[in-house]
Structure 1
Amino acid sequence: MIDGSDTWSMALMGIEAGRKVQWLRDNKSALPSMAVLLAVTVFWVVGAVGGIDFLTEASSPMSMLVGLYVMLAGVAVSIIVATLALNDLVSRYSRPRTRR
């Protein structure tokens, strides 16, 4: 049995879900930049938590050096990609909106 308060909360949940879906439809072109920022954030969090730990068990100095160069390239690429994604989002949301 559904009383009035349950109906009200279900209606509010439907409105909130509808807003999220509408926001996703309106901002579909910004989703790749947001996904890139999320991926870069995950990359940095994994690196900070202990992603570099596998280099301590390198079998040779050359494999350690190659690992360091790969990580250096990953850091450089992540900084460049994050800068481009932030630039895209800032330019996308800082310009004045026009009414349709």
Structure 2
Amino acid sequence: MALMGIETVRPAQWIRDNRSALPSIIALALVAAFWVVGAIGGIGFLAEASSPMTMLVGLYAGLSAVAVSIIVAILALNDLAGRYTRPRTRR
């Protein structure tokens, strides 16, 4: 593809060049994994709750986890958008 002007970058080289973006990328991956596990049925344990208080505490814990995951995703996306929309300086 080098003949067409498209250079392929090896993953190790990309990671070295974008090392400062890795925390945001990892945070987005963890949030995505959290939502996938939740969608598959991670909340099914509340159906077998032994008391209403156990179910209520589980629901509040789930609600707080969802709120934190949304905040983390917004912060990570904001960081990545700001990082990659800045004009790049030539080396």
Q: Under a length normalisation based on structure 2, what TM-score does the superposition of the two structures give? A: 0.89
Note the alpha carbon deviations across 1:41-85, whole angstroms, 9 max, x for none.
000000000011000000100000000000000000000000000
Residue segments in structure 1 that go unaligned for 5+ positions in a row: 1-15
CA distance in 2, matches of 1:51, 1:94: 36
The match for 2:37 is: 46
CA distance in 2, matches of 1:65, 1:21: 46
25, 30, 41: which one aligns with 2:21: 30
Q: Under a length normalisation based on structure 1, what TM-score does the superposition of the two structures give? A: 0.81
Q: Which runs of 4+ in 1 moved over 4 A?
A: none
Matched, 1:85 2:80: no
Percent identity over paired residues: 70
1:22 deviation in Å?
Answer: 1.2
Instruction: Indicate the structure whose relative CO is greater, using CA pairs within 8 Å and at least 6 residues apart.
Output: 1
Structure holding more helix per residue: 1
